[in-house]
Amino acid sequence: MKKQSVEKAYALACEQYADAGVDCEKALRRLKSIAVSLHCWQGDDVGGFERSASMEGSGLQVTGGYPGRARTADELRQDLDKALSLIPGRHRVNLHAIYAETGSHRVDRNELAPEHFARWMAWARTRKLGLDFNPTFFAHPKAAAGFTLSSADESVRRFWVEHGIACRRIGATMGQKTGTPCVTNVWIPDGTKDLPADRRGPRERLQQSLDEIFAEEIDVSIHRDAIEGKLFGIGSESYVVGSHEFYLGYAVANDKLLCLDAGHFHPTEGIADKLSAVFCHLDEVLLHVSRGVRWDSDHVVILNDDLRAIAEELVRGDYLGRVHIGLDYFDASINRVAAWTIGCRALLKALLLALLEPAARLRAAERGGDTTGRLALMEEAKSMPFGAVWDHYCLKQGAPVGEAWLAEVRQYEKTVLSGRT
Ligand code: RNT
Ligand code: ZN
């Protein structure tokens, strides 16, 4: 689209929004201040760079064989650079422990140290990107039995506690080096395929393990801890040790961030409604924005009602300053750079839509008991010229407008990705 057309459409849109009591410039200033944490694992199908890592026993499933997967950290950073150039705004990158760069020697998970992420930190610094982090409690022989932090085998449990401790130190260093607090998120695959005889033991051991991992005080100005629950996974259909109730209680009792993953609840249960409930008891929340489809919790995020409801709650409740927003999905059946771009642009669009909501009018209707007007206004807001505001934002941020980013991805596929086998 031509630059003049974008600006003309934007000017008209601003008038229309102003009539509804909405200030477009203000909405865009707010949008610009939101950094989304882009999950590195979409770029290589959650592979990582440990030669032995496989997803076996992780409860996660990556399907598809689209060519061009990043095979090295350099390739992954190159792909992330490409994706970030197609997304308006300044964002963050979310790493997992399996993305360590340990050179020619193998370093086991419990021995990982900040130096193994030196290149990631240098890369992030030159781009002014924040970093977030995750211990990897899966894809490892010591996770093969289905239990990590909740294992009854003390040597196994100890190993994973050490991994958790090591990862917090890495996260703290990331926060220090990048000048923005790193959120380190704990998710474990522990659970059972069929009915367990003992639900209590593993949960009590998990509680003990978390206490041990979090024992070291780390300054919140450089680092935050988050814990992520789940309803079920592949191979943990009957029992998941780290359930929502378990972590909600732990987070409240220990002042940790609760991570709500949009794909980790019953298929008819959304996380939007949970936000105002958990924010009554927690200062901050981490979101894993994802899209569940039937058994899978990790489809590429799109601008659907669930996503819009999450963004609306964050804006309506004035929670943007208390939430850390990350993406979490993996699709190996489409171009991976496109997968990042589609998901992150969709999330930003959802946030913009929410910021453009005629909030004052909706609240006035609600307070006045005018539920008819509230519903009518919500529906009318859907056909306001939001696309013109979005296009203008992309243009201003130096990101491609409309579908123009797709041509860039196709070009990148031709010149870079197709050379990878
Ligand atoms: C798994 C969790 C977890 C992972 C990543 C790779 O169900 O959602 O967040 O997706 O850590
Ligand atoms: Zn998640």
Contacts of 348 (CB under 8 A, 6+ apart): 31, 34, 36, 87, 88, 89
Main-chain phi, psi angles of 107, to 5 degrees = -115, 120
Q: Does the beta carbon of 296 lie inside 6 Å of ligand 1?
A: no
Q: Does the beta carbon of 329 lie inside 6 Å of ligand 1?
A: no
Strands 291-293 and 296-299, bridge-based pairing: antiparallel
* For ligand 1, mutation pick of 109, 261, 296 (most atoms within 8 Å of CB): 261
pLDDT above 90: residue 52? no
Distance, C-alpha 27 to centroid of its chain: 22
Strands 239-240 and 130-134, bridge-based pairing: unpaired
Average pLDDT score over residue span 360-365? 97
Q: Is 97 left (phi over 0), alpha (psi -120 to 50) or beta?
A: alpha
pLDDT above 70: residue 37? yes
Q: Does the beta carbon of 39 lie inside 6 Å of ligand 1?
A: no
Residue 219 annotated in active site? no
Q: Tell me the pLDDT tens digit for each residue of 110-144.
A: 999 999 999 999 999 999 999 999 999 999 999 99
Question: What ranges do the domains of the chain cover?
Answer: 1-22+358-421, 35-355
pLDDT above 70: residue 32? yes
Q: How high is the pLDDT of residue 383?
A: 97
How far away, in angstroms, is 328 Cα from ligand 2 center?
5
The CA-atom distances, in angstroms, between 156 and each of 60, 110, 145 are 21, 11, 10
How far away, in angstroms, is 122 Cα from ligand 2 center?
26
| 3-class secondary structure, 220 | coil
CB 113 within 8 A of CB 100: no
Selecting among 79, 190, 225, 296, the annotated active-site residue is 296
pLDDT above 90: residue 198? yes
Residue 194 annotated in active site? no
pLDDT band for position 55 (cuts 50, 70, 90): confident
Average pLDDT score over residue span 16-40? 98
Q: Tell me the pLDDT tens digit for each residue of 383-392.
A: 999 999 999 9
Whole-prediction pTM:
0.98
Residues with a beta carbon under 5 angstroms from ion ligand 2: 261, 288, 328
Q: How high is the pLDDT of residue 59?
A: 80
The CA-atom distances, in angstroms, between 252 and each of 1, 164, 248, 345 are 49, 20, 6, 32
Q: Does the beta carbon of 261 lie inside 6 Å of ligand 1?
A: yes
**Counting atoms of ligand 1 from 1, which one is nearest the CA of 263?**
8
| 3-class secondary structure, 275 | helix
pLDDT above 70: residue 160? yes
Beta-bridge mates of residue 96 = 134
Q: Tell me the pLDDT tens digit for each residue of 257-308.
A: 999 999 999 999 999 999 999 999 999 999 999 999 999 999 999 999 999 9
Q: Does the beta carbon of 401 lie inside 6 Å of ligand 1?
A: no
Q: How far apart are CA 245 and CA 234, in angstroms?
A: 20
Q: How high is the pLDDT of residue 421?
A: 80
CB 301 within 8 A of CB 293: no
Q: How far apart are CA 202 and CA 205, in angstroms?
A: 5
Average pLDDT score over residue span 384-412? 98
Residue 230 annotated in active site? yes
Share of the chain above pLDDT 70, in %: 99
**Counting atoms of ligand 1 from 1, which one is nearest the CA of 261?**
8
Q: Does the beta carbon of 117 lie inside 6 Å of ligand 1?
A: no
- Write the single-letter amino acid at 80: L
Strand locations in 266-408 (E): 285-289, 291-293, 296-299, 323-327
pLDDT above 70: residue 212? yes
- Write the single-letter amino acid at 34: I
Q: How high is the pLDDT of residue 58?
A: 80
Q: How far apart are CA 256 and CA 224, in angstroms?
A: 8
Residue with tokens 């950094």: 35
Q: Tell me the pLDDT tens digit for each residue of 217-248.
A: 999 999 999 999 999 999 999 999 999 999 99
How far away, in angstroms, is 275 Cα from ligand 1 center?
19
Q: How high is the pLDDT of residue 53?
A: 63
Q: What does the mean pLDDT of the chain come to? A: 97
CA-angle at 213, arms to 211 and 214, nearest 5°: 65
**Counting atoms of ligand 1 from 1, which one is nearest the CA of 328?**
10
Residue 261 annotated in active site? yes
Average pLDDT score over residue span 84-109? 97
Q: Does the beta carbon of 230 lie inside 6 Å of ligand 1?
A: yes
How far away, in angstroms, is 247 Cα from ligand 2 center?
14
Selecting among 261, 284, 306, 331, the annotated active-site residue is 261
Q: How far apart are CA 418 and CA 421, in angstroms?
A: 8
Average pLDDT score over residue span 351-368? 98
Residue with tokens 């367990």: 196
Selecting among 288, 324, 349, 392, the annotated active-site residue is 288
Topology of the domain covering 35-355: TIM Barrel (3.20.20)
pLDDT above 80: residue 68? yes
Q: How high is the pLDDT of residue 61?
A: 87
| Termini Cα distance of the chain | 35
Q: Does the beta carbon of 291 lie inside 6 Å of ligand 1?
A: no
Strands 323-327 and 285-289, bridge-based pairing: parallel
Main-chain phi, psi angles of 180, to 5 degrees = -145, 135
Distance, C-alpha 233 to centroid of its chain: 18
Q: How many helices (H) and strands (E) does the chain have?
A: 14, 12
Q: How high is the pLDDT of residue 312?
A: 98
How far away, in angstroms, is 172 Cα from ligand 1 center?
21
Share of the chain above pLDDT 90, in %: 96
Residue 264 annotated in active site? yes
Q: Residue 207: which of 281, 292, 150, 291 has the closest Cα?
A: 150
* For ligand 1, mutation pick of 44, 60, 190 (most atoms within 8 Å of CB): 60
Q: How high is the pLDDT of residue 1?
A: 77
Q: How high is the pLDDT of residue 86?
A: 98
CB 360 within 8 A of CB 315: no
How far away, in angstroms, is 328 Cα from ligand 1 center?
7
Residue 298 annotated in active site? yes
Q: Tell me the pLDDT tens digit for each residue of 305-344.
A: 999 999 999 999 999 999 999 999 999 999 999 999 999 9
pLDDT band for position 175 (cuts 50, 70, 90): very high
Residue 225 annotated in active site? no
